[in-house]
Amino acid sequence: MAPLSALRFDTAFRPEVGKPIELAPGLSRITAPNASAYTFTGTNSFLIGKKKFALVDPGPADTAHLEALDRAIAGRPITAILLTHTHRDHSAAAAELAQRYGAPLWFGGGHRLSRPLRRFERNPIKRSCDWDLIPDRTLFDGETIEAGDMAVTVHTTPGHCANHLAFGFGDMLLSGDHVMGWNSTLIAVPDGSMADYFASLDNVIALPYLQYHPAHGGPIADGPDHAAALKAHRQMRNEQLLAAVADGATTLGAVVKEIYPTQPAKIRMAARMTMAAHVEYLEERGALKVSRGIFGMRLSVT
Report pLDDT digits (tens) over 47-100: 999 999 999 999 999 999 999 999 999 999 999 999 999 999 999 999 999 999
pLDDT at 1: 36
As assigned by CATH, the class of the 21-233 domain is alpha beta
pTM of the prediction?
A: 0.95
At 120, the pLDDT band (50, 70, 90 cuts) reads: confident
Options 3.20.20.80, 3.40.50.1820, 1.10.10.10, 3.40.30.10; CATH for 236-301 is 1.10.10.10
Residue type, 122: R
**CA atoms of 120 and 105, how far apart (whole Å):** 35
Averaged pLDDT for residues 236-242: 97
pLDDT of 264 reads 81
Query: Domain limits of the chain?
Result: 21-233, 236-301
Q: What pLDDT sits at residue 5?
A: 66
Question: Could you tell me which residues are beta bridge partners of residue 31?
Answer: 44
In sign, the C-alpha dihedral spanning 162, 151, 93, 135 is negative
Cα separation of the two ends of the chain: 33
Pairwise pLDDT comparison (294 vs 89), residue with the higher score: 89
Residues 58, 145: Cα–Cα separation, whole Å: 18
In this predicted structure, what is the pLDDT of residue 2?
43
Lowest-pLDDT choice from 7-11, 110-114, 291-295: 291-295
Provide mean pLDDT across the span 141-164. Answer: 98
The answer to whether 68 and 97 are in contact (CB under 8 A) is no
State the pLDDT confidence band at 263, using cuts at 50, 70 and 90.
confident
Residue 24 reports pLDDT greater than 70: yes
- The helix (H) or strand (E) run that includes residue 264 is none
- The residues, ordered by sequence, that sit 6+ positions from 44 with a Cβ below 8 Å of its Cβ are 15, 29, 30, 31, 32, 57, 59, 213, 214, 215, 216, 217
- Total residue length of the chain: 302
